[in-house]
């Protein structure tokens, strides 16, 4: 059956290229209102560019022809078209990395979309052919669109005998389906919240799972460490048992790529994107003390797994032998936890918006450099240029964000003035741009390191404006996912230009952004001080201003708003008078710290940097303390120190007496009443055998464990560090007094002419 697609809208899920005798075959899978759609574009070429004055030997079947394009800063170019992407990859290894070829690293399935300005959403024209379970269009005509689908998502999780043992069960949670498939020689009861189907072998279990997946037909698979463990385990088990790894749609093969060198595995499942919970949370800038499923679930949902034992593998094996219903329940609950975390954190919406903004595959993590290429290259080509070759020889250092020396102290009425998206606004205001740098011009806008930027030929400033306007719309519509996705892209622009992994990297670009930021912070500081106020700290895009301690909250707000207005007017005048440019620098007054502490560097009189705490009044009119860089928000400190700091600072900020609280905490510690708060937790980054010098405490503790895991929980005892669940020695309470409580207390007490030792001197000496 055939039909004509006229205005059918879709959203890309996966993309793939394959080499055939007649050219490169491109295949895209998409979600549409009428169901899954495959777009097939056969017999394509892989493309790169070469300056007309250069030459390279061409592979069989390749073509070279002149184009009306130039290298930015160079001469005219020809296009090289190869019949196979593998031929292009070989050319890139030989000549692309040496700078002879341009854009030879761009994959054909990415270039096809990029040159049509398609990121994820599209509208398609073409003849639809109905296949079994999906539709297909050959040689479609695509145009960009902002279509966002309602994705069908399935959470999957497996239970095994270990990392490489038997496969016990697979659980799937998709919409109202909660199913567990298990290897068992007898029926397994369920509790009504899930179904459990049993199979007599691992092979039949896998075949049953693939049949269920085909029936449910999800657009997206989610899980926890789902590619590196679950899917990789299933793929290896399929290979060992001679079962087709039939995870995808259509007849194309699914595969798990294992790059090696410590890189994460990659799932290639036609028609189904794969989103890992940990990677997606991190991409959306969620932070947790631990990204274990148990910890994230407890923090976000308030409950977690059904196995609390530290020996989860042992408990799973025991369940499989003695209580398969409990194992099935544990398996499906893990699936449901992942589903609920995605819903609670809005991760599916974030992933959709991120791909729509960046042009990255829906399930790709990272990718800031590729995002820059996706957004910049097609615009560059429309201006008649191709990208310069990679320049990894350029090693000039560009400074980072400017951090002012702080003035330590305990304050009342500190306000923070922030430059909204400072680096993007500098790019937009001062016309900082790779093409603009190349073209320059006598009437250009001066940067730093003798850089000169064209006033007329540039791309990045316009792109920043487009993103800025989109984010304002997203904020007005309360579209948090889109706003966050745009913010991440905007903030990545400087970082991309500052890395030699980017083809447009140049120290003049990065320096013209960061050093302009230094100038803006310093000149703004002068203006604030000229108005009679004290700037006590500054960090990259923020200035901390201490106001008169006697001011009321309403008067502080008036002062902050006036400083905001005055600074914005100042920069408008500077940009107009010195550069004949409009200013897009925008100062915002948002934060008023009722009380604020800027500590000293431990053991020094000088002020610290990136470490402070302050009390604010929230929108609910309640006061709360915000910590930045201090022990309360650092996972390498014990819960004892973190809880102690939160309580102590609250008391100080509220002018409450603290001696009794400090003394009582020390007494409870010495009496053994706070032992559950004394556990350190740290991750092993290397093999135990690789730690040979200055062996840190968590490694010492790990060497005393029978089966150390990735994270080590330990206590300091009189005989050194010991695993918290295998401790045999007495706790060294003196260590916790001197290394956890005392430094935290003295960080603020010395501003009150007090100290931990003065308060606790008697019992410390007795102990």
Q: What residue segments make up the domains of the chain, in order of their start?
A: 2-144, 153-351, 391-598, 633-766
- What pLDDT digit, counting tens, does each position of 409-451 carry? 999 999 999 999 999 999 999 999 999 999 987 889 999 999 9
Residues in CB range of 72: below 8 A, 6 or more apart: 380, 385, 386, 387, 388, 434, 435, 438, 439
| C-alpha span between 718 and 696 (Å, rounded) | 16
Residue 308 has pLDDT above 80, yes or no: no
Per-residue pLDDT at 509 exceeds 80: yes
Name which of 37-51, 167-181, 529-543, 750-764 the model is least confident about: 750-764
Q: Which residue has the tokens 């400190």?
A: 637
- Tell me: pLDDT of 324 over 80: yes
Q: What is the mean pLDDT of residues 633-660?
A: 95
The reported pLDDT for the residue numbered 1 is: 55
Please indicate whether the domains covering 2-144 and 633-766 agree at the CATH topology level: no
Residues in a beta bridge with 156? 172
The length of the chain in residues reads 767
Share the mean pLDDT of the chain.
Answer: 93
CA atoms within 13 A on the CB side of 678: 28
pLDDT on residue 766: 45
- At residue 399, the 3 state secondary structure works out as coil
Q: Which pLDDT value is given to residue 112?
A: 97
Instruction: Classify residue 193 as exposed, middle or buried by CB count within 10 Å of its CB (0-12, 13-18, 19+).
Output: exposed
Contacts of 645 (CB under 8 A, 6+ apart): 627, 630, 631, 632, 744, 747
697: burial class by Cβ within 10 Å (0-12, 13-18, 19+)? middle
User: Which of 647 and 764 is assigned the larger pLDDT?
Assistant: 647
384: left (phi over 0), alpha (psi -120 to 50) or beta: left
Confidence grade of residue 402 (pLDDT, cut at 50, 70, 90) = confident
Which residues make Cβ contacts (< 8 Å) with residue 730, sequence separation at least 6? 717, 718
Evaluate if residue 531 carries a pLDDT over 80.
yes
Query: pLDDT (tens digit, 9 = 90+) per residue, 344-369?
Result: 999 999 999 999 999 999 999 888 99
Burial status of residue 560 (CB atoms within 10 A of its CB: 0-12, 13-18, 19 or more): buried
Q: How many CA atoms lie within 13 A of 568 on its CB side?
A: 16
Q: Quick check: 125 and 140 in contact, CB under 8 A?
A: yes
Tokens for 761? Answer: 């001197």
Distance CA 457, CA 462 (A): 10
Looking at domain 633-766, which CATH architecture does it have?
Orthogonal Bundle (1.10)
pLDDT at 392 over 70: no
Task: pLDDT band for 710, please (50, 70, 90 cuts).
Answer: confident
- 350: helix, coil or strand? helix
Give the mean model confidence (pLDDT) for residues 575-592.
Answer: 96
Q: Residue 95: is its pLDDT beyond 60?
A: yes
Question: Which CATH number is associated with domain 2-144?
Answer: 2.40.50.590
Asked whether residue 544 carries a pLDDT value surpassing 90, the answer given is yes
Q: What percent of the chain has pLDDT over 90?
A: 79
Q: What is the pLDDT of residues 253-289, one digit of tens each?
A: 899 998 866 677 899 999 999 999 999 999 998 988 8
Q: Report the 10 Å Cβ neighbour count for 446.
A: 13
pTM (global) more than 0.75? yes
pLDDT interval class at 395 (50, 70, 90): low
Give the number of other CB atoms < 10 A from CB of residue 688: 12
Q: Which pLDDT score is estimated for 762?
A: 52
Among the four given CATH numbers 3.90.470.20, 3.90.105.10, 3.40.50.720, 3.30.420.10, the one describing domain 153-351: 3.30.420.10
- Tell me the mean pLDDT in the region 518-535: 97
> Using one digit for the tens of pLDDT, what is the confidence trace for 735-761?
999 999 999 999 999 999 999 999 987
pLDDT at 5 over 80: no
Query: Lowest-pLDDT range, 300-314, 517-531, 725-739?
Result: 300-314
Given this model, what pLDDT does residue 107 score? Answer: 96
- CATH homologous superfamily of 391-598 equals B family DNA polymerase, palm domain (3.90.1600.10)
Overall average pLDDT of the 494-510 stretch? 89
Q: Is the pLDDT of residue 506 over 80?
A: yes
Task: Dig out the tokens for 320 from the structure.
Answer: 């499989």
């Amino acid at each position: 059956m055939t039909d004509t697609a006229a205005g059918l809208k879709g959203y890309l899920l996966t993309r793939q290229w394959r080499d055939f005798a007649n050219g490169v075959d491109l295949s895209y899978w998409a979600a549409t209102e009428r169901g899954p759609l495959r777009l097939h574009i056969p017999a394509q070429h892989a493309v790169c560019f070469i300056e007309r004055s250069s030459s390279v030997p061409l592979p069989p079947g390749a073509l070279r022809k002149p184009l009306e394009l130039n290298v930015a800063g160079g001469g005219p170019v020809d296009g090289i078209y190869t019949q196979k992407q593998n031929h292009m990859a070989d050319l890139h290894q030989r000549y692309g990395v040496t700078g002879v070829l341009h854009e030879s690293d761009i994959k054909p399935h990415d270039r096809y979309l990029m040159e049509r300005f398609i990121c994820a959403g599209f509208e398609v024209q073409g003849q639809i052919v109905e296949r079994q379970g999906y539709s297909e269009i050959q040689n479609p005509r695509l145009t960009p669109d902002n279509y966002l689908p309602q994705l069908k998502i399935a959470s999957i999780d497996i239970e095994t005998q270990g990392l490489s043992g038997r496969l016990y069960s697979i659980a799937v949670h998709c919409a109202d389906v909660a199913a567990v498939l298990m290897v068992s020689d007898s029926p397994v009861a369920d509790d009504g919240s899930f179904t459990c189907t049993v199979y007599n072998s691992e092979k039949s279990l896998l075949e049953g799972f693939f049949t269920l997946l085909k029936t449910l037909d999800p657009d997206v698979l989610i899980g926890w460490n789902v590619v590196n463990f679950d899917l990789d385990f299933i793929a290896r088990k399929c290979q060992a048992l001679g079962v087709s790894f039939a995870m995808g749609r259509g007849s194309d093969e699914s595969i798990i790529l294992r790059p090696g060198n410590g890189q994460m595995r990659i799932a290639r499942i036609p028609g189904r994107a794969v989103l890992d919970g940990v990677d997606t949370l991190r991409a959306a800038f969620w932070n947790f003390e631990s990204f274990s499923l148990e910890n994230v679930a407890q923090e976000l949902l308030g409950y977690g797994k059904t196995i609390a034992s530290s020996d989860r593998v042992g408990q799973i094996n025991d369940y499989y032998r003695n209580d398969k219903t409990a194992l099935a329940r544990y398996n499906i609950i893990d699936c449901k936890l992942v589903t609920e975390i995605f819903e609670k954190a809005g991760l599916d919406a974030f992933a959709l918006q991120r791909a729509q903004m960046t042009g990255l595959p829906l399930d790709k993590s990272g990718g800031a450099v590729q995002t820059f290429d996706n957004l910049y290259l097609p615009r560059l080509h429309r201006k008649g240029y191709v990208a310069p070759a990679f320049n990894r020889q350029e090693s000039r250092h560009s400074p980072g964000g400017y951090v002012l020396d702080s003035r330590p102290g305990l304050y009342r009425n500190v306000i923070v003035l922030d430059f909204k998206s400072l680096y993007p606004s500098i790019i937009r205001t001062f016309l900082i741009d790779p093409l603009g740098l190349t073209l320059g011009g006598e009437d250009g806008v001066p940067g730093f390191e003798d850089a000169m930027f064209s006033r007329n030929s540039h791309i990045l400033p316009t792109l920043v404006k487009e993103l800025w306007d989109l984010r304002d719309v997203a904020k007005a519509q309360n579209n948090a996912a889109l706003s966050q996705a745009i913010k991440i892209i905007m903030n990545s622009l400087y970082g991309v230009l500052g890395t030699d992994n980017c083809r447009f990297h140049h120290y003049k670009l990065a320096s013209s952004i960061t050093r302009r930021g230094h100038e803006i912070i310093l000149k703004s500081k002068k203006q604030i001080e000229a108005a009679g106020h004290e700037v006590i700290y500054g960090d990259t895009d923020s200035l901390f201003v201490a106001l008169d301690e006697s001011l009321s909250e309403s008067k502080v707000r008036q002062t902050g708003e006036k400083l905001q207005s005055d600074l914005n007017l100042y920069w408008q005048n500077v940009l107009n008078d010195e550069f004949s440019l409009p200013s897009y620098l925008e100062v915002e007054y948002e934060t008023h710290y009722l009380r604020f502490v800027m500590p000293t560097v431990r053991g020094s009189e000088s002020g610290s940097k990136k470490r402070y705490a302050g009390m604010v009044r929230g929108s609910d009119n309640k006061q709360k303390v915000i910590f930045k860089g201090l022990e309360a928000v650092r996972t390498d400190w014990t819960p004892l120190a973190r809880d102690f700091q939160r309580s102590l600072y609250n008391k100080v900020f509220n002018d409450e007496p603290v001696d009794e609280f400090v003394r009582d905490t020390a007494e409870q510690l010495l009496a053994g009443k706070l032992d559950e708060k004394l556990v350190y937790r740290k991750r092993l980054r290397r093999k135990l055998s690789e730690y040979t010098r200055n062996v840190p405490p968590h490694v010492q503790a790990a060497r005393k464990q029978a089966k150390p895991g990735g994270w080590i929980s330990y206590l300091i005892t009189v005989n050194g560090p010991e695993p918290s669940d295998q401790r045999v020695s007495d706790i060294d309470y003196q260590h916790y007094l001197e290394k956890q409580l005392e430094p935290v207390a003295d960080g603020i007490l010395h501003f009150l002419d007090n100290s931990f030792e003065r308060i606790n001197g008697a019992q410390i000496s007795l102990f």
